[in-house]
Structure 1
Amino acid sequence: MQQLHFALLASLLLLLLLPGIRSTPTDQKANIVHYQPEQVHLAFGERTDSEIVVTWSTRSLPPDQEVGAFSVVEYGQPVDGQVRLTQQARGTATKFVDGGHKQATQFIHRVTLRDLKPNATYSYHCGSDFGWSAIFQFRTVPSAAVDWSPSLAIYGDMGNENAQSLARLQQETQRGMYDAIIHVGDFAYDMNTKNARVGDEFMRQIETVAAYLPYMVVPGNHEEKFNFSNYRARFNMPGETDSLWYSFNLGPVHFVSFSTEVYYFLSYGFKLLTKQFEWLERDLAEANLPENRAKRPWIITYGHRPMYCSDDKEYDCNSDLETYIRQGLPMLKWFGLEDLFFKHGVDVEIFAHEHFYTRLWPIYNYKVYNGSAEAPYTNPKAPIQIITGSAGCKEEREPFSKDLPSWNAYNSNDYGYTRLKAHNGTHLHFEQVSDDQDGAIVDSFWVIKDKHGAYPAPQ
């Protein structure tokens, strides 16, 4: 019996001394769910064709761990159809405390995958040894050259309730129809609601889209709470501006994202408005240089609130009051964007905010500048504007004005979203998908330009 007691004691001592045996203490096991990755989503990095940023959330961080040990992406290219996660990248985790009364806490993880091969398929999962996500897959875009045709889905105003378009977008993403998604503001309705639980629910919902291809975003008015803190924390767009404004290149297109909200929430500081406007001037001027237009002819901007509206709801969207982003701040007329975009030859401007779809004739200062009566979008003499805010949310759809303005070319308040295919440097193709009509295309048009740049002086 004494020998048996000695053997048991020796075994217990060995267990205590062996390295690695106590890798997960009991209290950590009890909280393992807090380390499980969720809300996984992708974005383009600074180099569109070779960098992808992976972002996800956990409730807590494991204690006493090496910095970066809990923010890991394992990834690799499949071999003979088999998943091979042979590479590893580490990043950072940032504590995010919601501004609500319960001060809900989570950790946002960000890892950049660099030196990826262009036009290649990668599998990946994210997390740490305390918990891994499912294995996802993405495909990088072709090289930085412009001789390929990117396809995107574009929409705004999709919430976690009544997200009518999401199921179809998930299916089309899994079928490989898109190279990227652009969500033009207003997420979840609202991310901060219920101490950010609604934001968490929304990010989980879009994972079946956003974990498979870059999900590019811009803030809307529904992200305003606590100085846009949920938006800034959850998304990682290119640049150093908390994802408020940025640009990226994709095939023959230079995309420019900007915040319309800096015009409306000046209580957070006037400096954001001035910084964005200065940045827009520099970015558009560079993109419009002849050598850059030759390489990447199209300039497409997107921001949440539109310059022109086809409904009577908006208090600042008529010719008497003017939109702040179009004409600038009231009375002073500072920082207006319509003149800036016209000056630098922006081809297409995409907006949301209104819960419907509207295609405008080429327009500047309330005047239509069609290319011709027969082909209005062939060599138009002003930018083309599209409002696509009907993806689905709890505020539901909005009616149009009884008397539609003359610059309204087409409108629909079906739930749905917009598709863009940039065929080459001379042809863009847009489609509007109706989810109400089982995916039917309710609007389709080409933009054709054999010359890009500043528009002729308006008459």
Structure 2
Amino acid sequence: MKPRPLAALLVAVYVKLATSLEGLQPYGVHLSFGERSDQMVVMWHTTLDTPSSTVEYALLHEAELSQEVLHPEDTSVTREHPVARRLLQDPYNPSAFTFSTEGISWNFTDGGPKKATQALHRVVLEGLQAGSRYKYHVGDAQSGWSDIFTFTAKRSRDQISSDKLRILAYCDMGDTHAGTLADVQKDVQTNAYDFLLHCGDLAYDFWTADGQVGVDFMRELQSVSAYLPYMVSPGNHEAHYNFSHYLNYFTMPNHEQSQNLFYSYDVGNAHVVSYNTEVFFFPESFDDSHMQRQWDWLVADLEEAALPHNRALRPWIIVTGHRPMYCSYPTPEGPCDAEHEASRRGIPAACLNPSNGHDCAMAANPLRTFPMEDLLYQYGVDLAIYGHIHDYERYFPVYNLTLANDPFKDPYVEPKATVHMTTGAGGNPEMPTGDKPPPQGSCHFKDDHWCAFQSGYYPQNGQSADFTYSHITVHNSTHLQWSQWSSTLQKVTDELWIVQHSHGSFAGPNSVPPRPRPVIAGRPKGS
């Protein structure tokens, strides 16, 4: 029987209303550190714009805090934080939220054929109590609210000094084949970590399928990013449409000046710096003046961090970016030839495939070079974390392609150069899965004597890639612990301690800070 006209009209109205309500539902909630220690930035997406962008939040009371106790081995929940589920068992009570802060929203249009549009929302919470636990939800009173999430306000230096600074880190994680995500979720559920580093290549890719892959990735990421600060760096997979998704989806410190491309922040006894390695590979997005701006900012930031008073407060300097300065690869034409040299020496590169930044060679006649490794050496950067290569690689302390410490005599005790780490296997469609375990062990190619250990390096003949991520624990001013967890093998595959009693310039107290080098006759002057 055909529906009556009135019934058909009611069905149409219902469908339109349901679609509209779904379009107002927040998704992709994610946190990041603000400009000040008492701030937390909250962002989320909606398909349609809403009358306001609001975060309601409150300190967790004692009963809720007692509910939060979760043993690290509890694996009963893998998709949503168990505390949020318990809090949601109670009916919504407006009085449960003590504070309310409004922010801003803007429409973002994907560059694909469909020109898909969504609304992005940003609220900055201020006046947070250091180290305190908060519950919150996002949305709008008219349009509806998200689930309830929890987070810890940034801990003070004294709070961390009496405990430990704990960091999660990975790079190169996509919407599919995100092989480490379930284990990362379990770590986040323990409330033991201060923040997470994702050093480039997100979603694979934000722009794919008219932006739908990026939408799906942000939805999936919420199970992690809504509970602790999710600090990102740009990679080559963010380059499409002039990095527009990356620039709009996140808000990092120094956002107004750098649009998330380079920034720094202090946490406990560490100073963390994120910079844009892609500046050397995408001339259509970053010209020579942008390279100069980033260089000038890096010099000023590291000079400030290296001042004696600041280095005493925050002795550990950690730098993160996407493309590594050092890596191993079995063929000379691989991404560890000219590409890593371009990253190490700061030489603009020519890429055969500009859409993704692979297959790059150093440009023959750059205007100038920016000696990035010299910068790390001059200011005594202790640890450099990169991705891009889809495996895990640990390096001996190295500078200018030369070992700085004897690899057979405790090389990580009082290192004389930066320790470089590659943790580029968070999980993405480019990583193969196989029936055989991933390759693992010492690095064995003749030109990579600086490489100490690898896992998941160049899998072949049925071997699986190693889906793996990092736990970094800064115990105190002298001891930093690195532990590498393999989600493929379900075990710790590598661990080291960096012991440094004399943080400072590796170049010496009377060294001259590096400067960009003009190019004469196609060769960097002084190279």
Asked if TM exceeds 0.5, the reply is yes
Using the aligned pairs only, state the percent identity: 39
Greater mean alpha carbon deviation, residues 353-362 or residues 268-277:
268-277
Partner in structure 2 of residue 107 of structure 1: 119
Partner in structure 2 of residue 409 of structure 1: 452
Partners of 1:416 and 1:197 in 2: CA distance? 26
* Pair 160,43 (structure 1): closer, same or farther in 2 beyond 3 Å: same
Q: Deviations along 1:327-351, whole A, 9 cap, x unmatched?
A: 1224555112001111111111110
* Residue 272 of structure 1 pairs with residue 290 of structure 2: yes
Partner in structure 1 of residue 150 of structure 2: 137
Partners of 1:183 and 1:156 in 2: CA distance? 5
Q: Output aligned runs, 1:147-186, within 5 Å.
A: 147=161, 148-186=163-201
What residue identity is the alignment partner of 2:27? E
* Residue 293 of structure 1 pairs with residue 282 of structure 2: no
TM-fit CA distance, 1:78: 2.1
Partner in structure 2 of residue 78 of structure 1: 60
Partner in structure 1 of residue 28 of structure 2: 39
Q: Give structure 1 stretches of 5+ with no counterpart.
A: 1-24
1:353 to 367, 383, 388: 388
* Residue 334 of structure 1 pairs with residue 334 of structure 2: no
Equivalent pair of 1:117/1:140 in contact (CA under 8 Å): yes
TM-fit CA distance, 1:323: 1.8
What residue identity is the alignment partner of 1:379? E
| Bigger radius of gyration | 1
TM-fit CA distance, 1:456: 3.9
Q: Deviations along 1:339-397, whole A, 9 cap, x unmatched?
A: 11111111111100000000000000110011774211111111000000011110005
Equivalent pair of 2:393/2:455 in contact (CA under 8 Å): yes
2:470 to 399, 418, 427: 418
Q: Output aligned runs, 1:198-347, within 5 Å.
A: 198-239=213-254, 240=256, 241-270=258-287, 271-312=289-330, 315=333, 323-329=341-347, 330=363, 331-332=365-366, 334-347=369-382
Partners of 1:313 and 1:101 in 2: CA distance? 38
TM-fit CA distance, 1:79: 2.2
What residue identity is the alignment partner of 1:160? D
Aligned length: 427
Partners of 2:152 and 2:18 in 1: CA distance? 35
Equivalent pair of 1:371/1:380 in contact (CA under 8 Å): no
State the SS of the aligned residue for 1:395: coil
Equivalent pair of 1:316/1:323 in contact (CA under 8 Å): no
Partners of 1:407 and 1:372 in 2: CA distance? 9
Partners of 1:38 and 1:326 in 2: CA distance? 38
Equivalent pair of 2:169/2:197 in contact (CA under 8 Å): yes
Partners of 2:315 and 2:406 in 1: CA distance? 18
State the SS of the aligned residue for 1:267: coil
Equivalent pair of 1:149/1:252 in contact (CA under 8 Å): no
TM-fit CA distance, 1:318: 5.2
2:209 to 194, 217, 224: 194
CA RMSD of aligned residues (A): 2.3
What residue identity is the alignment partner of 1:60? L
Equivalent pair of 1:310/1:401 in contact (CA under 8 Å): no
* Residue 453 of structure 1 pairs with residue 504 of structure 2: yes
TM-fit CA distance, 1:80: 3.5
* Pair 366,38 (structure 1): closer, same or farther in 2 beyond 3 Å: same
Partner in structure 2 of residue 12 of structure 1: none
Q: Give structure 2 stretches of 5+ with no counterpart.
A: 1-13, 65-86, 88-95, 348-362, 433-437, 457-465, 512-527
Partners of 1:185 and 1:105 in 2: CA distance? 24
State the SS of the aligned residue for 1:323: helix
